[in-house]
Structure 1
Amino acid sequence: MIHQYKLNGYNIVLDVFSGSVHVVDDVAYDVIGLYETTPADEIVAKMLEKYAGREDVTEADLRQCLEDIAELEKAGKLFAKDIYGDMAFDFKKRVTEVKAMCLHVAHTCNLNCEYCFASQGNYHGERALMSFEVGKQALDFLVANSGKRRNLEVDFFGGEPLMNWDVVKQLVAYGRSLEEPNNKKFRFTLTTNGVLVDDEVIEFANKEMNNVVMSIDGRKEVHDWLRKNYAGQGSYDTIVPKFQKFAKARGNKEYYVRGTFTHNNVDFTNDIFHLADLGFDQLSMEPVVCAPGDPYALTEEDLPKIMEQYEILAKEMLRRESEGKGFTFYHYMIDLNHGPCIYKRISGCGSGTEYLAVTPWGELFPCHQFVGDPKYSMGNVWDGVTNTALRDEFKLCNAYARPGCKDCWAKLYCSGGCAANAYHATGSITGVYEYGCELFRKRMECAIMMKVAEAGMKK
């Protein structure tokens, strides 16, 4: 399977199953498009007719082009066969080890964001804070169920985790105490809306948190439209100076400024550029996930505008990079030389198997987006995963288990996409959230184009 597209002056041919990327001229681009379905003599005739008058397109040139394509095919770099399909359906038999947890230390929040998938932090249930005892048991569960994995990941999440800051600090200390005796290493992440960030939070996080996710939607008017406090006031002026100080203090440590774009700001590149101009250089901007009838929900009419925005973003990022003012965008981070192993490409994010979310009461769910849905309760941190049938279903939650992914060129980049988005869109974790797929494919086209352009810059 191949995928061909033109973007930013490049003719790009992606060989899906080998991962090879070819940048070709117009003639080779057209010949490759005909190669599998059209006899060689007919291809030559079509090209001579299409490029009549061009002295550099001769029959000899076209025959040589066909030979070059055949050599690439023989080398497994073009029209490579899919050798991974049979592997995917053995996954249900495999023994899974837990490597990551999302600790919901606070099912409450000090903001009242209208689009919040977590229902203003309480996940459609009672407001609560996780006790140290529950969090301690969660870390014990993670260590006990991680097998020989050394590196473990824990995200402090909410709601707003800083509303339970003392417990966060206690759990970090407890996690560190488990490392040496168990030959483990914890990688902690903090996700925050910024309202309670202060010097003590910054100092502790920079010492102990491998990553910090800072939530801000971009321009003041965009951010304040939906991210308000309970008095109805926007939070932009409160959090921006704090996040600027936080990001600067991070030094070389990872952080992300993460925004959400909605129907209200389909021109979200302006929000990304605004954040970059504020000094943030590690950015992410996610499409809103909400009910179709919500006033801020993305529509079919928004789709072409969003596609255009992703192209604008890629081109502007290249321009800024050439001027020494570059920034990273989470969805454009792609490694064309190595990339994820095939296990990761097939298994995806690992929700429900390698990754679990823990409520303040110690209940286990496949990930934070399933929390509160009783159909997706998997057990608890004391008894472990008791709903093993559900875990087995998540083992098969990959691109090869989804009929809608069968002919998609991007399936080995997304691993079948987000199970939660599929469930909310179709009622099944093995369904396909087609709107999200369209956006993902566009992001991958842009990301690959940027790598092509960057490679050209280095020559």
Structure 2
Amino acid sequence: MNKLVHQYKLNGYNIVLDTCSGSVHAVDEVAYDIIELYEKSEKETIVRTVLTKYADRSDVTEEEILLCLEDIQALADQGRLFTKDEYENLAMDFKNNSSVVKALCLHVAHTCNLNCSYCFASQGKYQGERALMTFEVGKQALDYLIAHSGSRVNLEVDFFGGEPLMDWEVVKKLVAYAREQEPIHNKNFRFTLTTNGMLIDDDVIDFANKEMHNVVLSLDGRKEIHDHLRKTITGQGSYDTILPKFKRFVEKRGGKDYYMRGTFTHNNVDFTNDLFHMADMGFTELSMEPVVCDPSDPYALTEEDLPKLFEQYEILAKEMLRRKKAGNGFEFYHYILDLENGPCVYKRITGCGSGTEYMAVTPWGELFPCHQFVGDSKYSLGNVWDGVKNTGIQDEFRHCNAYAREECRDCWAKMYCSGGCAANAYHATGSVRGVYEYGCKLFKKRIECAIMMKVAENCEE
């Protein structure tokens, strides 16, 4: 069985992560080196190697090294270091035994009032015809979710597009219908709305702040960055139109969840400046995603961008720590990490559940594994009337987990990414069980930064 330990140095901290237990240790340099040698060398060799390296330090003695070795062994005995990986068989059992649908992404609008250059949905059309979901189709989708959710009480529905506000009256009717069904079936619906903001008005604000568990607002940051790729149909930038709407939306939202969600590209590898721009305007819940597109696109991220992006993630983490200490902090989606009570083992090794527990629904009621597969006929699962008919594809997704790829088995980050995004893997390699290496590198850097921030906060206490 594998025993995965990841060691790295960041922001002055020597960090040791025990992958399978989730334990994080901040240690001094000597302990860091001893842990690195612990399973590779005999005790006498470790003592000799460390004494030689720290020959100029009077506090590094054979006695201290032996005490450190005892502490390391104690941590191993407690299951907090060099923990064996015993989850692989569970990953397959969990997925094979899962037949409950927990969430749907309703594509209420396959059309959009923006013409964003990097849009994976082809300006909302998903390589097909423009369309709006009718109430009848949406109602059937909700009925399908209820019928296939088993005894699960909490169900999630995302209103997505295109731009879902272009079908706003249907969205409101669907929410009302779901609320009527809750007491009948002992269910609790949690709704999310993703919008570009162009059609936000007081009705949208009031209704969404009452009914939407979360709201995702699309903003790429600085005006010149946002307007470069997020243009209207007539070619105008959208920043000046949406910014005041977003501010009003968030001001009236109170303490309910929301995210300002941006995309960074080759045009703004200094994306931290876009995040700081949003934070300086008073937005405190932020997300910024790397663009995923054809490598030939002019805004595609390149290998040469990687060192700059790694540096940006470190800059972001350090600035977030500084701002939090100063009393004007903000959250970054990818740095939200609960080291004490994080995701259960099931979630850690099985992932998002796309194609099995979570599916996307087109305006016509067709089912796909997630929004990023919509429009690809090979991945049509069935429809909300007849259910899943393409069980072969569903089985393919059922086998997507932290152990589905050889490259993931010995990866220290697998308990955080659960094997990665199937859609990104498919678009990068042609297989949902492939590996999107560029995304992996960015993900690992984000996790390292997130853990460092937790270490820094604990050291402050």
CA deviations 1:39-62 (Å, max 9, x no partner) are 111111111111012111011001
1:394 pairs, out of 392, 397, 402, with 397
Cα distance in 1, alignment partners of residues 250 and 458 from structure 2: 29
Indicate the SS of the match to 1:83: coil
Cα distance in 1, alignment partners of residues 265 and 429 from structure 2: 21
- Does residue 6 (structure 1) correspond to residue 4 (structure 2)? The answer is no
1:328 pairs, out of 331, 334, 337, with 331
Match of 2:373 in 1: 370
Q: Could you tell me which amino acid in structure 2 is paired with residue 451 of structure 1? A: K
Match of 1:94 in 2: 97
Cα distance in 2, alignment partners of residues 142 and 239 from structure 1: 33
Q: Could you tell me which amino acid in structure 1 is paired with residue 253 of structure 2? A: R
CA deviations 1:235-290 (Å, max 9, x no partner) are 00000010011111110100000000000000000000000001100000000011
1:63 pairs, out of 53, 62, 66, with 66
CA deviations 1:12-51 (Å, max 9, x no partner) are 0000111110000000000000110011111111111110
Indicate the SS of the match to 1:17: coil
CA deviations 1:103-154 (Å, max 9, x no partner) are 0000000000000000000001000000000000000000000000000000
Q: Could you tell me which amino acid in structure 2 is paired with residue 62 of structure 1? A: I
Indicate the SS of the match to 1:399: coil
- Does residue 293 (structure 1) correspond to residue 296 (structure 2)? The answer is yes
Q: Could you tell me which amino acid in structure 2 is paired with residue 95 of structure 1? A: S
1:171 pairs, out of 156, 159, 174, with 174
Kindly report which structure 2 residues correspond to 1:226-305, keeping only aligned pairs within 5 A, or say none: 226-305=229-308
C-alpha displacement of 1:165: 0.5
C-alpha displacement of 1:92: 4.8
- Contact 1:276–1:327 (Cα < 8 Å) also in 2: yes
Match of 1:319 in 2: 322
CA deviations 1:62-121 (Å, max 9, x no partner) are 111111111111111110000101212224531321010000000000000000000000
- Contact 2:95–2:350 (Cα < 8 Å) also in 1: no
Kindly report which structure 2 residues correspond to 1:44-63, keeping only aligned pairs within 5 A, or say none: 44-63=47-66
- Contact 1:149–1:184 (Cα < 8 Å) also in 2: yes
Kindly report which structure 2 residues correspond to 1:48-447, keeping only aligned pairs within 5 A, or say none: 48-447=51-450
C-alpha displacement of 1:439: 0.4
Cα distance in 1, alignment partners of residues 407 and 16 from structure 2: 23
Cα distance in 2, alignment partners of residues 95 and 294 from structure 1: 39
**Stretch deviating more after TM superposition (264-273 or 64-73):** 64-73
Cα distance in 2, alignment partners of residues 314 and 229 from structure 1: 33
Cα distance in 2, alignment partners of residues 87 and 168 from structure 1: 38
Cα distance in 2, alignment partners of residues 246 and 436 from structure 1: 32
Cα distance in 1, alignment partners of residues 219 and 53 from structure 2: 51
Cα distance in 1, alignment partners of residues 428 and 407 from structure 2: 13
- Contact 1:401–1:430 (Cα < 8 Å) also in 2: yes
C-alpha displacement of 1:429: 0.6
Cα distance in 2, alignment partners of residues 353 and 193 from structure 1: 28
Question: % of aligned pairs identical?
Answer: 73
- Give the RMSD, CA atoms, in angstroms: 0.7
CA deviations 1:324-381 (Å, max 9, x no partner) are 0010000000110011111111110000000000000000000000000000000000
Cα distance in 2, alignment partners of residues 304 and 248 from structure 1: 37
Indicate the SS of the match to 2:444: helix
- What stretches of structure 1 move > 3 A for 4+ residues in a row? none
Q: Could you tell me which amino acid in structure 2 is paired with residue 376 of structure 1? A: Y
Cα distance in 2, alignment partners of residues 188 and 405 from structure 1: 33
Indicate the SS of the match to 1:254: coil
Aligned pairs, number: 458
Cα distance in 1, alignment partners of residues 213 and 15 from structure 2: 36
2:21 pairs, out of 18, 21, 32, with 18
**Stretch deviating more after TM superposition (38-47 or 267-276):** 38-47
TM-score (norm 2): 0.99
- Contact 2:261–2:289 (Cα < 8 Å) also in 1: yes
Cα distance in 2, alignment partners of residues 127 and 111 from structure 1: 13
**Stretch deviating more after TM superposition (295-304 or 389-398):** 389-398
Cα distance in 2, alignment partners of residues 131 and 72 from structure 1: 58
Cα distance in 1, alignment partners of residues 10 and 404 from structure 2: 31
Cα distance in 1, alignment partners of residues 100 and 228 from structure 2: 42
Indicate the SS of the match to 1:31: helix
Indicate the SS of the match to 1:113: coil
**Stretch deviating more after TM superposition (83-92 or 291-300):** 83-92
- Contact 1:91–1:396 (Cα < 8 Å) also in 2: no
Cα distance in 2, alignment partners of residues 199 and 342 from structure 1: 42
Indicate the SS of the match to 1:154: strand
